[in-house]
Amino acid sequence: MDNGIIAGMKPKLVAAVLIVAALIFFSGCAVQNNDLSVKYKAITLAGIKDYTTTINVSPDGNYDFEITGQIQEKFSKKLSQAEIDELIQLVQKNNFFSLPEDLSAKPGDCYDGATVQMEITLNGQTHKSGGYCVQDNGFSEIGQKLYDIYQFDPAIVEKYKNLNGY
């Protein structure tokens, strides 16, 4: 075989290998929502204002928010791909799947807090975590995002503007 032909093929071969490697790398890093689901439940016992908040995100992107007890509220919507991606990134950033199952505060560290449980499934892996008066920042950040989807939805803002005469 002619060494000139082999030498001429090397840059093309190297370029092809680099392109294939880049495609494999970037496809593996893409955020996927093929089976994201979240089950969130917070029980707040505050005397006359006892209530339970339940938030569910299903794999098809449906978001359901419900408060029962002294306060009654129900809300549903279809999440945008950006909202799903943001939830997935928060779960990954905060290492949810590495959190202990019981994140309860130590006795005496917290009084009158909520009991919160969260179960998340992502890409076939399921994990539960939570407890009484959870003080883990990563867990709380995910929970806050779940609330923010409800609280800052334009339909909810408009509803409360109308109720309050704004």
User: Three-class SS of residue 134?
Assistant: coil
For residue range 79-95, list pLDDT tens digits in order.
999 999 999 999 999 99
Q: Rounded mean pLDDT of 24-40?
A: 61
Ramachandran category for residue 58: left, alpha or beta (phi over 0 → left; psi -120 to 50 → alpha)? beta
**Predicted pLDDT at 108:** 86
For residue range 3-17, list pLDDT tens digits in order.
555 455 566 555 544
Residue 112 CA to residue 105 CA, distance in Å, equals: 11
- pLDDT of 2 above 50: yes
DSSP 152: T
Give the model's confidence band at 111: pLDDT under 50 very low, under 70 low, under 90 confident, else very high: confident
Sheet holding 62-69, edge to edge: 73-78, 62-69, 51-57, 37-44, 115-122, 125-132
Question: Nearest 5 degrees, angle CA 96-CA 98-CA 102?
Answer: 85
